Amino acid sequence: MQGTPFQVCISNAPYAGDSEDLPPRTNMLLPPPSSSLAVKVTQFSCGTIVVGSSSHHQVADFRAFLDFLEFWAQTARDESIDYARIPDDWSRNPGRFFSKVESTAHAPPPPPSFTVLPTPATGPPAI
């Protein structure tokens, strides 16, 4: 079984700061069967660590993606997670609230279910 692309990089340059708001890059959309999630962690020479990530919108909307990042950060910090806060359904389909207005026949199929894999025997490389 293959997981999501996860890249760890070390930069010899110091972190220069946040960039301005980036415009949408629709010319960079990836065709199927591209990964639905990609993550890149970069450590700069000054010690700053940046996590860059990308998620396919069909898998999760922006709110669900932020929830995922928050739970991931809590796990990385070895903090306890309130599992009651994890929604049963991350699809956030607003159409379910307007069943008389919107027909579900036009809704796309839900994404495939996911499985939580066991902790690997070896962790990621030390940064």
Quick: pLDDT tens for 17-48.
Answer: 877 776 766 666 666 677 888 889 999 999 99
As beta bridge partners, residue 43 has 10, 49
The whole-number pLDDT of residue 52 equals 85
**pLDDT, tens only, 110-122:** 777 777 777 766 7
Contact status, residue 47 vs residue 15, Cβ threshold 8 Å: no
| Single-letter amino acid code for the residue at 77 | R
Give the global pTM: 0.54
What integer pLDDT is reported at residue 1 of this predicted model?
47
Residue 111 has a pLDDT of: 72
What tokens does 89 get?
A: 């359904």
List, for residues 37-92, the tens digit of each pLDDT value.
Answer: 888 999 999 999 888 888 877 777 777 888 888 888 888 889 988 878 777 665 65
Closest by alpha carbon to 114, among 86, 93, 95? Answer: 86
